[in-house]
Structure 1
């Protein structure tokens, strides 16, 4: 992690030297020297970090040296922050002699600190020589020796009787190996560390059916460090051993070219099976492709990997079948635990008195086979008493760190972290700030990464796009689990496995990445850069906040106002995340947080933002969703770096109203200055009117834009502003009243538009909507369209979600024609009060998975066309007429045959007053597989 700290410090220095051309005398030269020293130290930090993290290494001097490097990097960042605040003061106009003297003193102090940093770096560099750090990777001989202690090796030798939960995966893989194309094909088993990829693949590799099918086989352990030449020699040895052919003469003296020729010649006329276990590098395919001839013999290659990119890379040379290995279901997890914990006693059965505690232990493992095996093995050594098991279970986190039975688990989980490039390590460590089992919203996480400086611009994409790539890479590496996805398959929220979270938390503490303030924590936080606060403890909220803290994350429902009052004007805080806590007001001195880039007050009881918010010159994200803030101070328009302004309130407790359920905020004139904005929703424009809307044409970086309380006369101004937003992907417009007709016909084109939500009267569908091929989601309400809107929408090639509600259509018949809406996955029809018939032609809605119909009083019968919707998974009826419900509600219903193929049919009856107050009745299809 020292490598990461130095890399970020270097990036800060580079940017600083690039942007700050008017530096104080001598400082430019000083920082150039610092940059050179950091670069020379960086050259061997990989080796230093690895040796410091090695628990077998007893040299505390190395760990101390690495800590000193990390602290020096932190000090460099702090000095740069201090200097930037000095030369870019948030308030201008101070001309008194006192202010001038203060400024001179501050400059002198900064200069002194820079000299101290230079001295400390030179001392650190001198000390490094005694440890003989290596710039290059370790050589193969020592690595070969270390493999004898590799905890992954055991997975290759597990007895069949110990294998649980892989039956379906095994049968699927065997089928792929024995059938299909005559060309060589790759079967790739992908998943996080500890899922049992090697165990499954080796089990398949050794099955009798597979053995007899292939002429020759080889099982090669690749791992993170390997030599291509070594792999080729190993393959030749295994092939020769299996077929009892003599080894080639002078095998160990052959160069790579000779080895490739030897292998190709040997395999040319054979049906071969090669198992490459634990592949880490994307270009591995390129390195081994030459040795595997395309001989039309139905040869196969198996690979196991934690990285989806590895599996994808093979596609350029082979047909690839990917098996995403999943966590064990609860019943299989229980079976595996009992096999390990009670293997040699009690006939492998859990005694009744231990069932409760055993279930708790299995639940903690979250279906991860390696964790179940390791922890089950630990408990097999303990006396079978509730007292003893409860004691170990309550201290399981501590046992993970010190118990020999669990070291293989922690080592295997750590391998994925160790393999990460430096720029992804702080990103995965960020999951440790959040509580265990916490699902984090994708946008929230990436915006915090950006605010922290983890995400670097490549000049071609926005920081948000680059951050998305970072998250995708962590997902492809099987480190991050996707919790929820949108209808179009994009990640909405994510988390890490609980045991991986435990490993991350240990690293977070060891690396001073974050300090956790709880009842049992000490007040001193050293050089830690972040605080994770449990607000349910009153004790922690009385402690002082050190000025070097870069981020504060608060969790729980505690009262935090006293703590907020400690925020210092000298703070270097960049992230302040107070989502969901009990906070009634934002501190008046909020503007003192000069470096603040991310401010999240979502779900708090804050009513007013102080005017000092306009002093937050570096603020990039302001999240005040579901607060009580209704009017933003005019000073907000000074925040030229603001990228995300997220503001709305949903009245969950009031009776549902189509126009009153979601309210926005009022903004003042001057909004045109916010030229960096990418997200702006929702603004109530009836206060600023046409003048405010016309200012919005200058917000040309907008991706997501939402307006509320729109009047009839605003239509032309909205069209004029929207067409200037060339990057706009999401447009949401709601009228001030149900009868307010808004003319949007003069919009010519929004080239990147993907989502369109309109709650307003149209009467005629704007022509431009049907021409936007990128649209994936359309939601219409109150439109009062006279013509069937499906004629305008059915040819949209990428539309995946369509919602029509609250009299969006004023006709009696909705007709889904054959071939229409080919990619639609989700269809919602709601409160179309005149519709009495829905016609679905055969060949329409071929991709539909979720269909909901709500409160359509004149619809008496379900459409027979639903019978042909083979991909439909969920059919959801809400507040439908009694006659309609009775026709499908039981197997005796006259129309039940239409819906009996659908896996899940739900009938809801609204009991009010809240929007989701329903009585629910579920019908499961008898044909459900």
Structure 2
């Protein structure tokens, strides 16, 4: 995340109308480091520890400089205010603090100078520049679990036919079919292809699909099932309504991604057994998905990299060996395929990827995760923060591209391009991650533009692990009963559950730039909204109910992105103009969505 932190620092420096000598020197130094990072394609295998150490130093120094500069602006404004109010003691106190910050900033400049010299002098380059896409069938079109894609990825036609035959056979008692197999083998994709098959759609009176995930919520599960059947109702007595709706019907229910049998136990009693019902879900007949054979593995890798093109003869043998070393797992194959698709189609580069895949398989028990890690290690610097940001969202979350790009812009991840808007650049980043099969497409417009995306569970596991390793993000979920050392220094915090009665101000310090809430049970009516994060840039509080516009938010003058949910009076105060950095304002009000893009 070194590059992203430098990019953030650049944008902070450029917002200062009249920067002093220190800031100008700092700007020159961080630009030199940024150029060096982009120019040098370092051999990760040989320099991994050096790189990690350098990137950690860059990130810490850039964050510290950013904190000093933004709080320095605040102190300068306070000095002017104190002078007008003739408070000489206050002015002197502020000036002392400002002098201390200048001293600290000078130390940061010295640290960045040292880093810059070390980066410039690094050797052992490896040429892995990207090529422009040449594949008429881009790798991103192979989307796992995508409802708008019928490509058979990770299983045979036989798998599809076996399940279809069982589902459309003579009516019988309630039946359950469990699709089982390793993570990344294509279970969801197979279930989706069955679910969307025209014959299946015709055969059943009603169908419903819901994703359970590790931290399931029964109420949400029932709501999704009823919504999936097009049955509209209020949230009361959902279990009775679901049972009544299914009674007497031939129905197909898919419960995807079940981690715990308790989830099945919670809902199985709701499915009527009327001797006409068939259910694809969780535990009677078991359909095992096997890993792909070497031949089928190569076919999938070939399709991912070349589409309908032919593989050059000099790459075919190496490609087959790469495919074989992916151990027959479709997700590993399409991710490595995305890496090859974006890289040079040369013998040397493919040999380099082959050796890295072999090292990943031999070097650790967690072979699959290491193979996926290759794709992250070879991401261009400008995409790394964007990819790790996917860890902000809950498991199986469907992410609107418009939401994602606005968040990336507000976070400062997007490098300005004079010929394009920031959001247009961000959209290209989304497509690049899709081409690499790092994220998945779930819905596209009739023009082929991505509308909704997600991330595979296993890729998200990698995302979360790397985000936490690099202090990029702190996830607050139901399993967190205490706050790890260093939590106070987090830049981004994503909440998945309530905060156990703690005050946010006691948990997190002034360094926080982003607060995102993804649980509906976070606050009650008596909970005060956090206003101590004066440097906050991103506030997604959709899942907090406000009865009127929270005027406290107006004190957070650095905000760039705000999402609020007002269930009562929600008139925007005139003083909203105080938020001079605001780019995006989204307000949900009484079921209506009001979006203002202020870029």
Give the TM bin, normalised by the shorter chain: 0.5 to 0.7
* Residue 622 (structure 1) aligns with: 585
* Residue 111 (structure 1) aligns with: 102
C-alpha distance after superposition, 1:756-785 (max 9, x if no partner): xxxxxxxxxxxxxxxxxxxxxxxxxxxxxx
- Structure 1 residue 622: Cα displacement: 0.8
- In 2 relative to 1, CA 535–71 (structure 1 residues): closer, same or farther, beyond 3 Å? same
Matching of residue 469 in structure 1 with residue 566 in structure 2 = no
How far apart, in 2, do the equivalents of 1:412 and 1:495 lie?
Answer: 20
- In 2 relative to 1, CA 477–526 (structure 1 residues): closer, same or farther, beyond 3 Å? same
Matching of residue 449 in structure 1 with residue 449 in structure 2 = no
Say whether the 8 Å CA contact 2:545–2:565 is kept in structure 1: no
Structure 1 counterpart of 2:156, from 159, 166, 169: 166
Structure 1 counterpart of 2:390, from 417, 431, 449: 431
Structure 2 counterpart of 1:494, from 439, 447, 453: 453
* Residue 34 (structure 1) aligns with: 29
- In 2 relative to 1, CA 585–46 (structure 1 residues): closer, same or farther, beyond 3 Å? farther
How far apart, in 1, do the equivalents of 2:579 and 2:24 lie?
Answer: 30
- Structure 1 residue 445: Cα displacement: 1.0
* Residue 483 (structure 2) aligns with: 522
How far apart, in 2, do the equivalents of 1:224 and 1:563 lie?
Answer: 58
Structure 2 counterpart of 1:601, from 564, 575, 598: 564
* Residue 296 (structure 2) aligns with: 200
SS of residue paired to 2:316: strand
Say whether the 8 Å CA contact 2:22–2:106 is kept in structure 1: no
How far apart, in 1, do the equivalents of 2:79 and 2:575 lie?
Answer: 10
Matching of residue 647 in structure 1 with residue 588 in structure 2 = no
How far apart, in 2, do the equivalents of 1:201 and 1:101 lie?
Answer: 71
- Structure 1 residue 49: Cα displacement: 6.7
* Residue 316 (structure 2) aligns with: 219
Say whether the 8 Å CA contact 1:537–1:558 is kept in structure 2: no
Structure 2 counterpart of 1:532, from 494, 501, 504: 494
C-alpha distance after superposition, 1:5-29 (max 9, x if no partner): 34544x337x52xx645234x3245
C-alpha distance after superposition, 1:134-154 (max 9, x if no partner): 351289xxxxxxxxxxxxxxx
SS of residue paired to 2:388: helix
Structure 2 counterpart of 1:74, from 63, 68, 75: 63
* Residue 285 (structure 2) aligns with: none
- Structure 1 residue 577: Cα displacement: 0.5
How far apart, in 1, do the equivalents of 2:156 and 2:91 lie?
Answer: 73
Considering fraction of residues, name the structure with more helix. 2
- In 2 relative to 1, CA 199–164 (structure 1 residues): closer, same or farther, beyond 3 Å? same
How far apart, in 1, do the equivalents of 2:154 and 2:5 lie?
Answer: 43
- Structure 1 residue 112: Cα displacement: 1.6
- Structure 1 residue 116: Cα displacement: 1.8
- In 2 relative to 1, CA 427–277 (structure 1 residues): closer, same or farther, beyond 3 Å? closer
| Alignment RMSD | 4.7
SS of residue paired to 1:566: coil
C-alpha distance after superposition, 1:531-560 (max 9, x if no partner): 011233424555433111111111112243
- In 2 relative to 1, CA 432–278 (structure 1 residues): closer, same or farther, beyond 3 Å? closer
- Structure 1 residue 90: Cα displacement: 13
How far apart, in 2, do the equivalents of 1:222 and 1:424 lie?
Answer: 26
- In 2 relative to 1, CA 498–110 (structure 1 residues): closer, same or farther, beyond 3 Å? same
- Structure 1 residue 483: Cα displacement: 2.1
Give runs of aligned pairs for residues 393-792 of structure 1, distance below 5 A: 404-405=364-365, 407-518=366-477, 519-522=480-483, 524=485, 525-542=487-504, 543-560=506-523, 565-568=529-532, 571-602=534-565, 607-609=570-572, 612-627=575-590, 647=594
How far apart, in 2, do the equivalents of 1:499 and 1:204 lie?
Answer: 19
Please give the TM-score of this superposition, normalised by the length of structure 2: 0.57
How far apart, in 1, do the equivalents of 2:119 and 2:549 lie?
Answer: 47
SS of residue paired to 2:581: coil
- Structure 1 residue 414: Cα displacement: 1.6
- Structure 1 residue 470: Cα displacement: 1.2
Say whether the 8 Å CA contact 1:219–1:277 is kept in structure 2: no
SS of residue paired to 1:580: strand
* Residue 23 (structure 1) aligns with: 19
- Structure 1 residue 478: Cα displacement: 1.3
- Structure 1 residue 584: Cα displacement: 3.9
- Structure 1 residue 110: Cα displacement: 2.9
Say whether the 8 Å CA contact 2:361–2:368 is kept in structure 1: no
How far apart, in 2, do the equivalents of 1:401 and 1:522 lie?
Answer: 35
How far apart, in 2, do the equivalents of 1:28 and 1:564 lie?
Answer: 37
SS of residue paired to 2:394: coil
- Structure 1 residue 409: Cα displacement: 0.8
- Structure 1 residue 72: Cα displacement: 0.9
- Structure 1 residue 474: Cα displacement: 1.2
- In 2 relative to 1, CA 3–490 (structure 1 residues): closer, same or farther, beyond 3 Å? closer
**Count of aligned pairs between the two proteins:** 409
* Residue 754 (structure 1) aligns with: none
* Residue 280 (structure 1) aligns with: 340
* Residue 804 (structure 1) aligns with: none
C-alpha distance after superposition, 1:889-922 (max 9, x if no partner): xxxxxxxxxxxxxxxxxxxxxxxxxxxxxxxxxx
How far apart, in 2, do the equivalents of 1:424 and 1:431 lie?
Answer: 11
* Residue 86 (structure 2) aligns with: 97
C-alpha distance after superposition, 1:276-305 (max 9, x if no partner): 9886255746x69xxxxxxxxxxxxxx9xx
Say whether the 8 Å CA contact 2:301–2:337 is kept in structure 1: no
Give runs of aligned pairs for residues 165-184 of structure 1, distance below 5 A: 165-167=155-157
How far apart, in 2, do the equivalents of 1:495 and 1:625 lie?
Answer: 23
Give runs of aligned pairs for residues 813-832 of structure 1, distance below 5 A: none
How far apart, in 2, do the equivalents of 1:74 and 1:563 lie?
Answer: 30
Unaligned runs of 5+ residues in structure 1 are 140-162, 170-191, 207-215, 226-275, 289-302, 307-369, 371-399, 630-645, 649-676, 680-700, 702-929
Say whether the 8 Å CA contact 2:79–2:94 is kept in structure 1: no
- In 2 relative to 1, CA 283–167 (structure 1 residues): closer, same or farther, beyond 3 Å? same
How far apart, in 1, do the equivalents of 2:38 and 2:594 lie?
Answer: 46
* Residue 11 (structure 2) aligns with: 12
- Structure 1 residue 69: Cα displacement: 2.5
- Structure 1 residue 464: Cα displacement: 1.6
How far apart, in 2, do the equivalents of 1:552 and 1:32 lie?
Answer: 28
- Structure 1 residue 41: Cα displacement: 6.8
SS of residue paired to 1:461: coil
